[in-house]
A = this chain, B = another copy of it.
Amino acid sequence: MLERFKPKVEDVVRIDSESLRASVAAIFEKMGVPPETAADGADVLTMTDLRAVESHGVSNMMRVYVQQFRDGILNPTPDIKIVKEMPGTATLDADRGLGILVGRHGMNLAMQKAKEVGFGVVTMSRSGHLGAVGHFSMIAAQNDMIGMCITAGGTSVVPTFGGEGRLGANPISIAAPAKNEAPVLFDVATSAVAMNKIQLARRVGADLLPGWVADMEGTPQMQDTPPNDYGGFLGLTIGGTREQGSHKGYGFSLMVEVLGAMLSGSVPSMFDETPRESMFKNYFAAYNIEAFTDLDTFKANMDQMLGTLKNTKPAPGHDRVLYPGLTESEDERDRRANGIPLHKEVVEWFEGISEELSTPALVRA
């Protein structure tokens, strides 16, 4: 994540990750979620913060989820149904379950099918927010498979040349295991900037960069723009302008809509009248590496590639070359040891809700 999104040092409180996990799980249980599922959701959010994907960790999301449960639109005990199935595929109805709580079910089923026929793909309609989609791809990578996970929903992003929002942030993720190197973990919004990042920018007082958002008529804003008037922007796709490749971002966003929404039997997101809280259409895929090639050779090849990428001579003015998943792995090590840095406002919210619900308080690292 760019430096500009990080909170100022004086605003940061380091929280022990196990205490965060316990606190989140307990809050979910108070919302009526069964203990095992609540623990699973706490794992998604805590891992997301351990990997330093603040935009999708507890800071932005926890209070939203709590509100959605309280509003009664999310179902704490969903009955996930198989709508259609073949040996390599399944279409599920998530029954208004929160995505971070039902996502593991989707990826587990995809992995089971991949064991049987080499590849498994599971689509899922009527889900709540899925959180950081990369988390579910990583479940596959941790099981020696390649994982992909995407989620469709929303209409805040304009198609190239468009003056009206038609697409969601529609993120795509892929994860693949290596032998000794940190696994590949690629997880990005197909919008120029994840919409959650605008919230983060507002919290930390950073400007939005040129090409990140459009005004309400669809014109890309090509100067630094303060995020104060959140809601007064339309999103742009990756690239920002046609010349810089926004048509490519648009195509990737549409790919998410086709694989997530259309292939789960849902209507296009732009016509989806499901309440926002349960409008997400998810896609989970698992590749059984051994179906294609020797697993050890695959992992050794991954090590060779990733090692070479990170040892690439940097361009002038840069310290090092990264690959997707590398800093996430480094951050995880640091944060497990030294705690997760949360903005003091977020810690205050946890203090309030813990007191209200009589759940375990956060512990400073």
Contact with B along A316-331 (1 / 0, CB 8 A): 1111111110000000
- Give the interface size bracket for A toward B: 35 or more
Does B186 contact A322, Cβ atoms closer than 8 Å? no
> Which residues of chain B are within 8 angstroms of A264 by Cβ–Cβ distance?
292-293
Would A262 and B88 be within 8 Å (CB), given that A119-B119, A186-B254 are in contact? no
Would A162 and B304 be within 8 Å (CB), given that A2-B243, A123-B292 are in contact? no
> Which residues of chain B are within 8 angstroms of A322 by Cβ–Cβ distance?
159-161, 247
| A74 adjacent to chain B (CB < 8 Å) | no
Nearest CB in chain B to that of A263: its residue: B292
Q: Which of B166, B252, B304 is close to A312, meaning CB atoms less than 8 Å apart? A: B166
Cα distance A63–B355 when bound, in Å? 74
| A87 adjacent to chain B (CB < 8 Å) | yes
| A257 adjacent to chain B (CB < 8 Å) | yes
Nearest CB in chain B to that of A242: its residue: B2
Contact with B along A244-277 (1 / 0, CB 8 A): 1101111110110111011111111011000000
Does A313 contact B164, Cβ atoms closer than 8 Å? yes
Does A174 contact B238, Cβ atoms closer than 8 Å? no
List 23 A-B residue pairs with CB atoms under 8 Å apart, sorted by A's residue number.
Answer: A2-B243, A83-B293, A84-B292, A87-B118, A89-B119, A117-B117, A119-B121, A121-B287, A146-B258, A159-B323, A162-B309, A162-B312, A162-B321, A184-B258, A192-B244, A211-B244, A214-B315, A218-B313, A238-B239, A247-B324, A251-B324, A257-B305, A264-B293
